[in-house]
Chain A
Amino acid sequence: MQDIGRRSRRFDALDKARGTEQFATDIYPPDMLWAGALRAGVPHGIIRRIETARAEKVEGVVAVLTRKDVPGTNRQGFVYWDMPVLCGTRVRHAGDAVALVLAESRRALAEALRAIEMEIEPLPVVDTLDAALADDAPNIHGLDTGNVLKAATIAKGDAEAGLAECDVVVEETFYTPAQEHAFIETENGVARIDDDGTLHMTVSTQAPFRDRFEIGRALGLDPSRIHVTGPYLGGGFGGKDGATVQCLLALAAMHAKGRPVKMWWNREESMLAGYKRHAARMRFTAGAKRDGTLHAVRCELDYDTGAYAHLGVEIMALGMEHSGGPYRLPHLEAKGRCVYTNNPVAGAFRGFGVAQVSFAFEGMMDRLAHALGMDPLKFRLRNAITRGERNCAGVTMTTSTGMEECLLRLRDHPHWKSREAWRADAPPFTRRAVGVAAVFNGMGYGRGLADYAVAKVRLTGSGRIRVYNGVSDMGQGNASTFVQMAGEILCQPESVMELVQPDTDRTHPSGSAAAGRTTYTYGKALIKACETLRDKLFNRAALMLFVDDGSGFAMIPGGVRHLPTGRDLPLAALAAMMHPDDRISMAEHLMPVTPEPVRGGEAFTLGFPHLLFPYAAHLARIEVDELTGRVAVLDYVAFTDGGRVLNPQNFEQQVHGSVAQGLGYALTEDVLTEAGVLRSTDLCTYVIPTSLDLPDIESHAVETIEHTGPFGMKGIGEVGLNGPLPAVASALYSAGLPMTRAPFTFGRVLAALEDDQPGTGSEAAS
């Protein structure tokens, strides 16, 4: 029995270990065609000519499509509809699709793509925030606001006056790079239009239900005639939230005369056309009182959303909401700008706008602690937010708030206690340091967008329990947790459980796999559905056993038991007596939001602010090679408040994975572009951590109870990503190496080593 709270094997693990789990990439329908897009290759320009005649003549080519073949709006997006399926005249980044080819084989496809002639008249390239914000910048989308997609200011207290009251004030500007999701399964799917005109698509997606509307709007199709199936993903992390292959694939299917079509971006195309984490520039001023009270923060955050909006505004909003850190901060003013450039498109990525500001606010905490002559952990502890207080954006924390406890636990960790001795023990030409970071991450969609799920569970005719999962599992393990939850309530072992993965015909709209909401929202709905089913089974059992009502029954593995008489009824026997419709139970859940207004928050119609937050305190022990500038993370410890832990194994998996991505973000990962053209086009030039680059990661749960959550849990998929960059930066800072630009490459660290005058920073943490 996989009881809640017990460390247990994931439901999906065996099939994946066997290699038999069928991902979208593993589907090769008979008689299928291959589809592929021609990418602009030019970051900004006007298409003067596209000549497809030669490509059409390539043997095995079925169709070559351009803008004129796209019905509908030709616009992708789900908050802002600004991204063409196929560009007609204007090209806004090098990964823009300008033509689509259908062919019998991959080779014919590749040859045809090469044979398309294209002339693009280049326009000046807007490749930096400054270039985009300049008065004479080319206007990428023709907005009245220039290249500023959205500017907003939120405030709490009076930052100006607050800063004037401070005893110490520090200022700094921080920069974070674009980050690649680098899921191992690149974007892909298969699609077919059946005889009735219904589009069937199986795709690696985090949002199968919403995809229907995005495809429908872009291509003028009726969303109710679009059927999307979302099998397990080979990684997502935000990068498969919003159309990747979907609209192109649907367009291809529309020209395939009923044949199935497969589209599978190779790694280079994934890097070129796939979404990234927003690069950001963050100007911060922060002040504290002599007694160690954090008092005021003022910041300006600029997010580079690349050529298209995707969720850029919502991402910026989260950055602003978190910009004062997980602290009780009386005064905050956060200005945000979400800016178009000709860089690759930025979108959702685990840590959604917060990963960036975590570097900045924690960098300010280190600098303030130093200016105050205070221990950086003590300074954080002193200001950590607790329940009942307003957070930095002004929202009262009525929900579980474990920030302080995470920091207290970290304070007692041997790596923290022994930091001085460990540092003093550094080998020659090596600096050692220990850094800490306190982070949080809003959970759920936030206000303005219903965070909603519909769960369905069925007793099958053969007496098994089938859960109909409506939210994609991109690897985080929510599907397994759903089985565990249903098993817990219905008291059934894994062997009795079945699982249906998201399918717009069979499961129900439950939102996207995003925002740390996946297990929370669907889980709450599922608990209700299972309880209803259980009660129904008791009532039917009462009928069968001629007892007055359903009280006195209990679920037992494989059946129900009438406790007063000791009589058991197998589930299969109950199922046989029930109508198929009666064996189904459904329930829904809507995540609560805060009714509390944030000053300036009305600028955001959706996704702001949040009520629920997981918290984490991280520690990194690092060594810096003074000769090469190499930073090695030798030990890593994470304390995480995710409410109650439902399966410790899965909990640790989430922490490990997010920390690993965060360490990549801190140390090596950088989407390199030159005048808007991608330079890191493969996994050699875009370096994600290998097994040799990461330490063992110690994960500790700091269990609070989140009363609004299923079995007391809250989602921790994202918060762990926010810690590593600031924790490593904090260690570097205490080693006399203040860093303001991530990642901390050899070159940047060497430059910092050169700048380091004895006595300027190395005693910061002592």
Chain B
Amino acid sequence: MIVFTLNGIGQRLDVDPTLRALDVLREHCGLTGPKEGCGTGECGACAIWMDGVTRLSCLTLAGQLHGRAVTTIEGLADSWDENEATDTTDQPPLHPVQTALAERGGVQCGYCTPGMTMVAAELLRREPNPDRAAIREAVSGNLCRCTGYHKIVDSIEDAAETMRKKR
């Protein structure tokens, strides 16, 4: 039995602990936000947080989730304490990185977006004031084939500013 919290909710899963965490999240927990782009740790699309730290879920076994607090893209907005109703009417709240990626054109096909968002949000928690080079460094393990990264970096800069203002 694997016991952990997932996006703030307790989970008890009776699954083979040698399955990949990525598959368990996607197939057993129904959270398809984390994506698979390679399965071998090269693309970052599967990034999640374990106890607030970025992990590649394709390289994590289900058993390793035991006892941990797991956050996926689906739970990211709630993990941000400062969150308040955003301007997106009846829609659920967003983390500033999500808002910024959407507003500033950091999203194209969107397949790298969840992993990119998790990594960027962790960066901004650690380092509220990163410059473009630091942002590029932080997301360098997240491959994006669509954007050329420029607008992703713009978006993360924007999100940093939003978060600084709200602090």
Chain A residues proximal to chain B, CB less than 8 Å: 9-10, 12-23, 25-26, 28, 106, 181-186, 232-237, 266-267, 474-477, 495, 649-650, 652-653, 656-657, 659-661, 682-684, 688-692, 694, 696-697
Contacts and interface: CB of A to CB of B under 8 A. Distances in A.
Given A20-B74, A22-B32, A657 B148 contact: yes
A694 B102 contact: no
Contacts, number: 180
Contact of A19 (B33, B139, B140, B146): B33
Nearest to B16: A107
A14 B140 contact: no
A620 B110 CA distance: 28
A25 B26 CA distance: 10
A18 B105 contact: no
B110 A475 contact: yes
Contacts of A696: 132, 150, 153
Nearest to B31: A19
Contacts of B40: 267, 682-684
A73 B112 CA distance: 38
A13 B101 contact: yes
Interface string B58-81: 000000000000001110010000
How many B residues are at the interface, by size bracket? 35 or more
A235 B111 contact: yes
B43 interface: yes
A520 B80 CA distance: 41
A28 B43 contact: no
Contact of A185 (B98, B104, B111, B148): B111
Contacts of B57: none
B149 A691 contact: yes
A735 to B, nearest CB: 24
Nearest to B148: A660
A657 B147 contact: yes
B21 interface: no
A562 B77 CA distance: 44
Contact of A656 (B101, B136, B147): B147
Query: What 10 A-B pairs come out closest when comparing CB atoms?
Result: A475-B109, A19-B33, A16-B110, A234-B111, A660-B148, A19-B73, A13-B102, A26-B32, A656-B148, A683-B42
B102 A10 contact: yes
B6 interface: no
B104 to A, nearest CB: 8
Contact of B37 (A14, A184, A650, A684): A184
A691 B113 contact: no
Given A13-B107, A232-B110, A691 B37 contact: no
Contact of A182 (B33, B92, B145): B145
Contacts of A495: 89
B94 A237 contact: no
Given A185-B109, A477-B108, A690-B140, A17 B99 contact: yes
B35 interface: yes
A683 B141 CA distance: 11
B38 A691 contact: no
Given A184-B45, A237-B145, A649-B151, 10 more contacts: A10-B105, A13-B110, A18-B92, A184-B109, A185-B35, A657-B108, A660-B145, A691-B136, A692-B137, A696-B153
Contacts of A653: 105, 108, 146-147, 151
A691 B36 CA distance: 19
A715 to B, nearest CB: 15
A683 B143 contact: yes
B39 interface: yes
Interface in B143-167: 143-153
The residue among B91, B101, B102 with the most chain A CB atoms within 10 A of its own CB is B102
B109 A691 contact: no
A560 B43 CA distance: 49
A668 to B, nearest CB: 13
A16 B113 contact: yes
A565 to B, nearest CB: 32
A17 B111 contact: no
8 contacts: A17-B94, A17-B101, A19-B73, A23-B32, A233-B109, A475-B110, A653-B108, A660-B148
Nearest to B73: A19
Contacts of B153: 691, 696
A667 to B, nearest CB: 13
B35 A234 contact: yes
B37 A475 contact: no
B75 to A, nearest CB: 10
A9 B27 CA distance: 31
B102 A184 contact: no
Nearest to A106: B23
A17 B113 contact: yes
A691 B98 contact: no
Nearest to B144: A184
A181 B145 CA distance: 8
Contacts of B23: 106
Interface in B95-134: 98-99, 101-105, 107-114, 117, 132
B54 interface: no
A599 B106 CA distance: 45
A184 B94 contact: no
Contacts of A652: 105, 151
A682 B40 CA distance: 9
Contacts of A477: 108
B140 A691 contact: yes
Contact of A17 (B42, B110, B144): B110
A422 B110 CA distance: 38
Given A185-B111, A657-B108, A18 B73 contact: yes
